[in-house]
Amino acid sequence: MNDTQIEKLIQAEKARQKKVINLIASENYVSKDVLMALGSEFTNKYAEGYAGKRYYGGNTVVDKIENLCIARALKLFKLKKEEWHVNVQALSGSPANLAVYTALLPLGSKVMGMSLDQGGHLTHGHKASATGKFWMQVPYGLSKETEQLDYEELAKIAKREKPKMIIAGFTAYARIVDWKKFREIADSVGAYLVVDMSHTAGLVAGGVYPSPFPYADIVTTTTHKTLRGPRGALIFAKKDVRELGKKIDKAVFPGLQGGPHINQIAGVVVALKEASIGDFKKYAKQVVKNAQALAGELSKLGWRIISGGTDSHLFLVDVSMDGKGMGGGEASDRLEKVGIIVNKNAIPFDTCPPTDPSGIRLGTAAETTRGKKEKDFIKIAREIDDALRTKN
């Protein structure tokens, strides 16, 4: 590389990633093939429009890439092309979700989404996000007793508020979601059901987490978490008389963006194939086993795991210990000092501010990619315990 300054920084980041234990629940390590596709000549190409309908010449190869991405996305999630439309152009998860709102809802419509502080995402209608400024969030949360979804309560909120859209699928919820119940609640008020499976997409693909496709009208997902691809997003829309796919396509381009990032889409194409081969199923299973081993050991060591455990790749730990512990920020800093990378996170019904919440979020997708098994995560739990209990 001629630019030695950036070359040095690339090497430094490579070394950092190699050295640390990465427990950030939304990160992963992509394959060399994904990196090659990302760094390919596709980055040079403008391709506004969709395959066969571009606004620039020279897109015959690009059309093949985009069509292949759509075909592989359908195949991975066992969907029929007669039943599902796929848009692969949204640049990442937040723009994908914004495209869904733009496509389906008049401005100001009510959207029922989980509060950020209970495990939802900014784009599920939080007031700091465009989705909360241009549409009106009807928030829902968890049961205080179980720290899990309370479907009866959700049904009551829906009946009272009559939202136009309900969003399910979360960033800090460890348990299996009952998509069928969400469908019934959406049907009871005539709302669209949108599932944002960004966190669990790889687990769904690997067959260890229930698929939302039998129940949702729209499914969005990022491609870089448990799915282990490059940063990017997919939007799946059910094909029927409502023509949701057409509306989504228009919202993405020209509604919200110009040219798609073809190199990124090429990376997604590679990742979708990788996720469809046998080894990925083993990987997904191991991710969940590892999360359960990590949560189980931390619990034995006296740490409170939100909702008492996990069915997925992630979970939250309450580090406040009823005032005898510390904030999530301090916990994250202490862990970074010993080479363990996590993020501070609000816990349900947190009394501390989001800038210094009471919890940390731990996930096992990245370290499972590096081959770690349950015994390694038990060791990591002990290292976490040591670092958090040692005053330094």
For tokens 């300054």, name the residue.
Answer: 5
User: What's the rounded Cα separation, in Å, for the pair 52 and 131?
Assistant: 32
Cα gap 149→134, rounded to integer Å: 26
Helix (H, G, I), strand (E, B) or coil at 255: helix
Tell which positions 8-47 bind ligand DSN, by CB under 6 A: 26
Catalytic residue flag (residue 46): yes
Shortest Å, Cβ 366 to ligand DSN: 12
- The answer to the question of whether 335 is labelled as a binding residue is no
**CB nearer ligand DSN, residue 20 or residue 71:** 20
Strand 21-22, strand 340-341: pairing: parallel
Widest CA span in the chain: 64
Q: With respect to ligand DSN, which residue has the nearer C-beta, 114 or 189?
A: 114
Q: How far is the CB of 305 from ligand DSN (least distance, A)?
A: 18
267 is in an annotated binding site: no
User: Is residue 183 among the annotated active site residues?
Assistant: no
Is the four-CA dihedral 143, 168, 353, 346 of positive or negative sign? positive
- Out of 183, 225, 228, 361, the active site residue is 225
Q: How far is CA 90 from CA 58, 109, 138, 223, in A?
A: 21, 23, 25, 11
Q: Which of 162, 181, 231, 285 is catalytic?
A: 231
State which residue, 89 or 220, has the beta carbon closest to ligand DSN: 220
Marked catalytic residue, from 46, 239, 285, 379: 46
Reply yes or no on whether 225 is catalytic.
yes
Contacts of 201 (CB under 8 A, 6+ apart): 221, 222, 223, 225, 226, 227
Is 121 known to sit in a ligand binding site? Answer: yes
- Residue from 33, 48, 178, 330 carrying the catalytic annotation: 48
Q: How far is the CB of 361 from ligand DSN (least distance, A)?
A: 8
Q: DSSP 3-state assignment of 207?
A: coil
Asked if 372 interacts with ligand DSN (CB under 6 A), we say no
**Minimal distance in Å, beta carbon 314 to ligand DSN?**
9
Q: Is the dihedral of CA 100, 106, 108, 109 positive or negative?
A: negative
Q: Which of 66, 117, 196, 350 is catalytic?
A: 196
Shortest distance, CB of residue 379 to ligand DSN, whole angstroms?
25
How many residues sit close enough to ligand DSN to count as binding (CB under 6 A)? 4
Beta bridge mates, 136:
110
Considering only residues 168 to 197 of the shown chain, the ones binding ligand DSN according to CB under 6 A are 171
**Mask 82-121, x = binds ligand DSN (CB under 6 A)?**
-----------x---------------------------x
Beta strands in 163-313 (DSSP E): 165-168, 192-196, 218-222, 233-238, 304-305
Between 120 and 212, name the residue whose CB sits nearer to ligand DSN. 120
Counted residue by residue, the chain has a size of: 392
Q: Which residue is nearest to ligand DSN (CB)?
A: 26
Angstrom distances, CA of residue 265 to CA of 76, 204, 241:
16, 20, 28
CB-wise, 26 or 369, nearer to ligand DSN? 26
Known active-site residue 48: yes
Q: Which of residues 55-84 bind ligand DSN (CB under 6 A)?
A: none
Closest contact distance (angstroms) between CB of 33 and ligand DSN is 24
Residues 119-148 that bind ligand DSN (CB under 6 A): 121
Is 245 marked as a binding-site residue? no
Burial code (b: 16+ CB inside 10 Å, e: under 16) for 353-372 equals eeeebbbbbbbbbbbbbeeb
- What is the spatial distance between Cα 221 and Cα 209, in angstroms, rounded to a whole number? 14
Chain positions 210 to 249 lying near ligand DSN, rule: CB under 6 A, are none
Q: Binding site residues for (6S)-5,6,7,8-tetrahydrofolate, as ranges? A: 116, 120-122
Can you give the binding site for ligand DSN, defined by CB under 6 A?
Answer: 26, 93, 121, 171
Known catalytic residues are 46, 48, 196, 222, 225, 231
